[in-house]
Amino acid sequence: SIILSKKIFSRKIVISLLRKYYKENNIEPIRGRTKIHIFDKEMATLYLIGKHGLGLTVNEYRKYYEAIFYKELIYEKIYKKILEEDGENIRELIKRYYDGKIDENFIFRVIRIAFTATLLGFETDENMTRLLNILHKSFKEISKRIMTFIKLYITYRIAEKIVMGEISSRIEKEAYKHSLCVKFNILKSAPSDKLIKMIAIDVLKGEEYMVNRAFKTKIDYQED
């Protein structure tokens, strides 16, 4: 609303406003352990909420999108194209939008737009799974980094259910973790409990005592 009311057309200014708003409201950007360029990356969240959450169409607000969210427009376009073509000619597609080169950071921004859309409920888990599997097969040279993002996705899904109270025991947490690892065929590279707990508490702002229930090996009983 600030962007529209003040007619802001600068990505740099919007990033500064986003950083200030998050700090004032104790909000953490969607992230893993690293915070490098995190608010430039977090513009994906603002873009998706505006476009898919508030229904601010590109046709109606084209000047704003092209001035502020020009990166996200490209990332989402490529993401949709990859799914439409089921990964066909994916390397040529990436090169077409990035100066004829394969840039891994560019690829991870494409993943992030899909990842964020899925977390916000604007995209399905099935499409996110398809995208990650396609990229993992297509870019062997960065498969280890893609594997890291797969682990982060699994981490967020588990942490989310813990914070929402859908997982409240270690057994439930381990069962859900196993099912997700099977889906991505990474049984030997499951995310650590330490990372899951960090995301649940520090990023998703879950109550620590509730989060800890999913990691306890024993149940505490209290007498009435």
Q: What pLDDT, on the 0 to 100 scale, is given for residue 88?
A: 80
Secondary structure (3-state) at 12: helix
**Alpha-helix runs per DSSP H in 50-205:** 62-68, 70-84, 90-97, 104-119, 125-138, 143-163, 170-184, 193-198
What is the model's pTM?
0.86
Mean pLDDT by 10 residues, the chain (224 residues): 88 96 94 89 97 96 96 95 86 85 90 95 92 89 89 94 95 95 86 95 94 79 42
Position 221 scores a pLDDT of 41
DSSP state for residue 105 in the 8-state scheme: H
- Tens digits of residue pLDDT in 23-34: 999 999 999 888
Check residue 223 and report its DSSP letter.
-
pLDDT of 222: 46
pLDDT tens-digit series, residues 62-78: 999 999 999 999 999 99
pLDDT of residue 218: 57
* CA 13 – CA 173 distance, rounded (Å): 41
pLDDT value at position 78? Answer: 94
Listed residue (165, 219, 157, 216) closest to 190, CA to CA: 157
All residues at 6 or more sequence positions from 89 whose CB lies less than 8 Å from its CB, including other chains: none
